[in-house]
Amino acid sequence: MNLAIDIGNTSLKKASFSNSKVSNIKHINYSKNNFNKILFSLKKDLDKYDNIYICSVVPELDIIIKKQLSKSKIHFIKKGLLKSYVHKTVNLKQLGIDRLVNVFSVSQIYPKNKNFIIIDLGTATTLDLIINNQYFGGAILPGLKTSYSNLISLASGINSITFQELNDVIGKDTKGALLSGFNTGYKLMIEAYIKKLISIYKLRFKVIFTGGYASNILNKQIKYLYKQDLTLLGIAHYHNLTK
């Protein structure tokens, strides 16, 4: 049995996988000021799994893992094996490995489709355009919760609130106004971006949402797909390339 690990800027997701199918998904929040929680978890995993495949966007943590843990079982995703999924006009060096894994993932999960728009809502929100199974470009926006948390911390007249689903287009007080922006406003921004891409490229795209905050945007919509484990599935498929 193998383990797939997706390390983001504020959290880690991991899942067991066999034959490109993932199971037992776990989520760990962490702080960049203290990586001990992740290292402790990885040391336990080394005893349980044959191989551990890691997709990470945190270089400083990668260095620590490579220094302190067994190199024989741990394999970091390499861009070189996936470069055929990137269009020649794109700067491969500056393309995040998580976004590249997502491109590879959709090509394996949906072999009948070649054109995709992937929206990943995490610490940052990324929109990625895939044409003929190649990454063609993308956009990076402030993350849903990140942007609102920053707003609350900077504006003295706004108190901390608990974010929740709300269908109201406008609010009648500060809390209601923030929640309407958090739910309706951000959703409309994403949808406008999707429509703009479709109108420019005039292709039939399969639109896929992923990431921890995707459920806030989708809010029971059925016209878009939600694939919570998209990156983990991409890591599991990547294992087949290394055999």
| Edge-to-edge order in the sheet of strand 51-56 | 21-29, 11-18, 2-7, 51-56, 74-76
Angstrom distance (rounded) from CA 157 to CA 155? 6
Nearest to 32 by CA among 7, 49, 1: 7
Tell which residue, 241, 188, 194, 198, has the closest CA to residue 219: 188
Check 45, 47, 98, 168 and give the catalytic one: 98
Does residue 98 carry a catalytic annotation?
A: yes
Q: How far is Cα 240 from Cα 170, in angstroms, rounded to an integer?
A: 49
Taking CA atoms, 235 is separated from 47, 82, 186, in Å, by 20, 11, 29
Tell me the residue ranges of DSSP E strands in 36-147. Answer: 51-56, 74-76, 116-121, 124-131, 134-142
Half-sphere exposure of 226 (CA within 13 A, CB side): 15
Asked if residues 19 and 237 have their Cβ atoms less than 8 Å apart, the reply is no
Q: Which residues are catalytic?
A: 98
